[in-house]
Amino acid sequence: MSRSNKLLTVPSAGLYRFPNMFGGNGYFGAKSPSTTSGMSNDTSTWAHDVGWGNSGNICATDAGSGVRSAGENGKNHWSNIEIGTSEGHYLSGHITGFRFKASQDSGAGHGLYIRRVGFMLIQKNGTGAYFCDSLGVLSRGSYGTKTYDVNFTSAQLSKLQSSGYCFHKLAYQVSSEGGTGTRTTSVRAYDFQFKYIGLSGKNLLIPMRRPYAYRKEENRFAD
């Protein structure tokens, strides 16, 4: 994947969407969110037993180019998707939360939907890491487009702003849990935007895009 050394800036506080904040999508196994220092609002396990697909761009402006998960289901299943497995911008005190959308084509039983939303923090030049559940267990609701809005807790902001941590992966769980029937459905996640802090009269400089292997190194530039 090609990388750009172009510097990105944000002129004011609020939501901004850049086309390629993350590189690489993948899966991760069953996991419990960290609870140290209030880093999670949910202590149950993120189950994972299938992979429904994770191709696409979470930062795309339209659902058709977003990250697609699809399958035929008549039972309860769970798929944990992580975004940012190969490269990214690794922001720290620049952000206060994030938002993205998902388009699901079914609200019926065993139709796919986003059941959980979370993210991962990692300590720069250190060994600390946190997996955070942000919104608890979500309901399927009806078909159509939904928005998932996350504001970091005070403990998470402290990690990002003064304790040397950076945001290094977005996480969400797609599920068919609940209801009856067997059907083929899909859900597409897209339009990811970070919530940036503001600097009065100045532009906020965003760290360069770097390979995932160098996400913890403060002074490593993109290859």
pLDDT band at 62 (very low <50, low <70, confident <90, very high): very high
Q: Percent of the chain having pLDDT more than 70?
A: 94
Mean pLDDT of 177-185: 96
Cα-based torsion angle of the residue sequence 105, 112, 59, 93 in order, rounded to the nearest 10 degrees: 140
Q: What is the pLDDT of residues 108-166, one digit of tens each?
A: 999 999 999 999 999 998 888 999 999 999 999 999 999 999 999 999 999 999 999 99
The per-residue pLDDT for 1 is: 33
Q: Is residue 114 within 8 Å of residue 187, measured between CB atoms?
A: yes
Can you say how many angstroms the Cα of residue 68 is from the centroid of all Cα atoms in its chain? 14
The per-residue pLDDT for 127 is: 86
Cα-based torsion angle of the residue sequence 11, 14, 19, 22 in order, rounded to the nearest 10 degrees: 110
Two tokens, residue 42: 């949910």
Judge: domain 17-210, CATH 2.60.120: yes
The per-residue pLDDT for 3 is: 46
Place of tokens 């769980």: 173
- The greatest distance separating any two alpha carbons of the chain, rounded to the nearest whole angstrom, comes to 56
Distance CA 101, CA 80 (A): 17
Distance CA 7, CA 147 (A): 29
The per-residue pLDDT for 222 is: 44
The per-residue pLDDT for 2 is: 39
3-state secondary structure of 206: strand
What letter does residue 77 receive in the DSSP assignment? -
Residue 211's CB is within 10 A of a number of other CB atoms, namely 17
Res 171 pLDDT > 80: yes
What's the pTM?
A: 0.94
Can you say how many angstroms the Cα of residue 120 is from the centroid of all Cα atoms in its chain? 8
Amino acid at 221: F
